[in-house]
Amino acid sequence: MDRTSLTVASVESVGPDSIAVAFETPPAFSARPGQFVKLTLDTDDGEQSRFYTISSPDVEETFEITVGIDPDGAVAPLLAELVPGDAVPVAGPFGDAYYEGETAALVLAGGPGVGPAVGIGERAVASGHGAAIVYRDDAPIHRARLDELSEAGAFVRIVEDDADLTEYVAAALDAVDGDVQVFVYGFADFLDVAMDALEAAGGDTDDAKIENFG
């Protein structure tokens, strides 16, 4: 989708300094959890754009992004001020590290990587497939959705920022049956730690789908 003005459907808090913004899905828009979109807003310094990963399991009527609010940022505070009915220019989707209906999905998420993690987990569970999430953050968000996933049978572990991931990744691999597709989302330092843990746990590092948030 080329840059198109989309209508805000809802804005809600999902944890400390974090919101979920849902947009009404335009005709012919197709995307999968794990892909991302580009938002452009007018700021005091002119137009600025940011990329946000889709955190909803589907895009049938609306689709959602998760936004961490840096009060000194140029764009995120403006997103926090949005109300239903507002319009925001959006383009996309982009990216190839997304869920394609794999029968078993393991998501390693650091910080904002929890957005695509919950979307993929919910899509997998709704399809009757295995799902596991290992999420590392010192201020976890999306707790309600993570709890619901756990109650639905998904393997979910939330670990502290300095925790060794290896034992959690190994347990997650054991918890999901079949040919496991691994997804890794987060900032560069987390990706290094997560991939080391995946290798140490005996997981497949070559075919992991990875998205670096910077």
Inform me whether the pLDDT recorded for 178 exceeds 90. Answer: no
Which pTM does this prediction carry?
0.96
Q: What is the pLDDT of residue 162?
A: 87
pLDDT band at 134 (very low <50, low <70, confident <90, very high): very high
Checking if the pLDDT of 84 tops 90, the result is yes
pLDDT of residue 214: 87
CATH of the domain at 63: 2.40.30.10
| Pair 11, 35 in one domain | yes
The identity of residue 122, as a single letter, is E
Contact 46, 52 (CB under 8 A): no
Total number of domains constituting the chain: 2
* Pair 156, 191 in one domain: yes
- Residues paired with residue 38 on neighbouring β-strands, in sequence order: 51, 91
Residue 2 confidence (pLDDT): 93
DSSP string, 174-192: HHS-SSPEEEEEE-HHHHH
Answer yes or no: are the C-beta atoms of 184 and 195 closer than 8 Å: yes
φ and ψ at 203, to 5 degrees?
-85, 170
- Looking at the fold, whether 79 and 114 belong to one and the same domain comes out as no
Closest CA to 145 of 160, 173, 176, 123: 123
**pLDDT, tens digit, 9 for 90 and up, residues 17-75:** 999 999 999 999 999 999 999 999 999 899 999 999 999 999 999 999 999 999 999 99
Residues 151 and 171 reside in one and the same domain: yes
